[in-house]
Amino acid sequence: MELHEIHSMILKDGIRKFKYKNSKIKPISYKPEGNKGAIFVFRSKEQMIDARGVVFTSEEALLFNEDQFTHWTPNVYSYGTYADAAKQITKGHSEKNLRQINTFVVDIDVPQTDNLSEMDIINACCNVDFGFLPTFILKTPGGYQAYFVLDKPWFISNADNYASLKLARNVSNSIRKYFAQTLPVDLGCNHFGIARIPRTDNIVDLNESCTYDMQSLIDWSIKHYSKKKAKANKEKLARKAALRVYPSQKNGQVSQPWVKMLLRNDGIRGNKGLLGRNNAIFTLALAHYSSAVSYEDCYDILDEFNSNLSDPIDQIEFDRTLNSAYSGNYKGAKRTKIRELIENWIPGTYTDAQLFGNFWYKFKKARKDRKNSHYDEWKEDLRVYLNANSTTQWAYIQTSKQAIVDEIGIPKRSLDHCLKEMKAAGEIYFKSKRGFGGGIVVATRVALFGMIIKAKKEHREKYLEVLRRKLPEAVDTVVAALNPSEIAIEKTAVQLHLQIANSS
């Protein structure tokens, strides 16, 4: 798909195809297009911040300036103008001047210390609570931007006090908050303002068939919010019930000297290249969690700590960090992280005894725990094997258990154990048969999800037919996880198969 086609797909006839005057490509038989809108484009982030940009009213202007701009407004405004006589400062990109909404954009800010890829964004979509793949993902200097493009523009009017705009803002909020559960999403940026423009050097994942009906997104937003609110209330009650009685904390991490050293330091900041305030709050929260301090008590302690910082993190990020620490996915604060935070923010040199007192012991793991650590490693090897060997046509592997054993060096009994656990977790599907003509068919949920949603309708039916024979239990589960409208709507598609699990 050519770059100008991507721009056109997003803009949806919101601006003219050709320049009103001095067009170089306007056909002789061209007929006037009537009233159209405007967009704003910027050559750099610095110019964007200063509103030093250009008003474009035609796709032709974009075509002759490909890769010359870094930012634009993908949603179209009723008009665009300049605030100065030199025509350098743009004016008009306010929400109430919006003509039509064409896309929702999720801005994901990735700290330099994080190892996050576009695959993590796609994995976040493969959830029974979502079911929408990004139309495309852009790699930015600070992270990623995921575009969810509408199949038809959502027009904005001032009727009923801009009700259509409020509805669109609610959908945007729902999408952002969904991703913010697992990814570092910027929740504060303008919903329908300036975003990175697609260029030949920043598109890392393209799914042109994945455009969305606004009503489907509205329905999902309503359903998502009601489910999330009920779940939050249930979890809050469960936490209160579970944490009424606490074991002794005198030997817990929360009693170690480093905790007080960090809590008393109000100068911890969010410096690039250093573990900063987010990591400090997360590490302190883990210490409290591992010491059986209640969520509510930990919240009060760290909320006061954050408020005392010279540059505190915002409330949404604070809540997300604390929830992650208390999710049950972590056992406690890591010694290496503690050491790094102390070295970054506490003057002086400290011995282990000065930081950890007499409470840091390295106990020999129980036999059960040692087994589980090996299983985790084998599971990771198995994931790599599946992603590397799934066929480009069907997104599943048909082989033998012995072939997997020989390839990754996993013991057969460990392979059986990992397959069962990963299947129970909904991560993979497999079917095995012993004897002559037997073997194993196995696929990841992410690969099947991507194949079904990206396939052309005529290919999709054939794919599901084959899949019902190979992995019958997978079909109903995966299809049910997708948004129903995505299965029903016929669209053109580029079948990218497992590039979603191995894209660059």
Given a contact cutoff of 8 angstroms between Cβ atoms, the answer to whether 152 and 288 are in contact is: no
What contacts 24+ positions apart, CB below 8 Å, involve 120-123?
120/182, 120/183, 121/146, 121/179, 121/183, 122/205, 122/446, 122/450, 122/500, 122/501, 122/503, 123/446
Q: What is the mean pLDDT of residues 354-361?
A: 66
Does residue 246 surpass a pLDDT of 60?
A: no
Gap between the Cα atoms of 487 and 213, Å rounded: 12
- Split at pLDDT 50, 70, 90, the class of 470 is confident
Does residue 498 surpass a pLDDT of 70?
A: no
* Segments of 194-310 assigned E as strands: 195-196, 203-206
CA angle 293, 227, 110 (to 5 degrees): 65
Instruction: Please write the tens of the pLDDT for every residue from 52-107.
Output: 999 999 999 999 999 999 999 999 999 999 999 999 999 998 898 999 999 999 99
What is the predicted pLDDT for the residue at 501? 33
What is the predicted pLDDT for the residue at 42? 97
Q: What is the mean pLDDT of residues 451-463?
A: 66
Average pLDDT of the chain, as a whole number: 81
Question: Dihedral sign, CA of 183, 189, 191, 193?
Answer: negative
pTM here is 0.55
Gap between the Cα atoms of 205 and 137, Å rounded: 5
Which amino acid, residue 215?
A: Q
Percent of the chain past pLDDT 70, that is, above it, reads: 81
Q: What is the mean pLDDT of residues 203-209?
A: 88
Higher per-residue pLDDT: 152 or 228: 152
Query: Could you give the dihedral angle defined by the CA atoms of residues 370, 373, 379 and 382, in that order, rounded to the nearest 10 degrees?
Result: -80
Instruction: Please write the tens of the pLDDT for every residue from 252-287.
Output: 889 899 999 999 988 898 876 678 899 999 999 999
Q: What is the mean pLDDT of residues 186-214?
A: 91
Instruction: Please write the tens of the pLDDT for every residue from 339-352.
Output: 989 998 998 888 88
Which amino acid, residue 393?
A: Q
Q: State the DSSP code for 97.
A: G
What is the predicted pLDDT for the residue at 371? 47
Gap between the Cα atoms of 414 and 450, Å rounded: 28
Gap between the Cα atoms of 407 and 394, Å rounded: 21
What is the predicted pLDDT for the residue at 229? 60
Phi-psi region of 67 (alpha: psi -120 to 50; beta: other; left: phi over 0): left
Burial class of 420 by CB neighbour count within 10 A (0 to 12, 13 to 18, 19+) = exposed
- CB atoms under 10 Å from CB of 489, counted, come to 15
Given a contact cutoff of 8 angstroms between Cβ atoms, the answer to whether 37 and 15 are in contact is: yes
Q: What is the mean pLDDT of residues 476-501?
A: 44
Q: Which helix (H) or strand (E) holds 422?
A: helix 412-424
Does residue 360 surpass a pLDDT of 70?
A: no
Looking up tokens 């090897």 gives 381
What SS3 class is residue 186? coil
What is the predicted pLDDT for the residue at 453? 66
Q: What is the mean pLDDT of residues 370-390?
A: 73
- Split at pLDDT 50, 70, 90, the class of 127 is low
Question: What is the C-alpha radius of gyration for the chain, rounded to an integer number of angstroms?
Answer: 26
Closest by alpha carbon to 496, among 134, 107, 116, 124? 134
Q: What is the mean pLDDT of residues 459-478?
A: 75
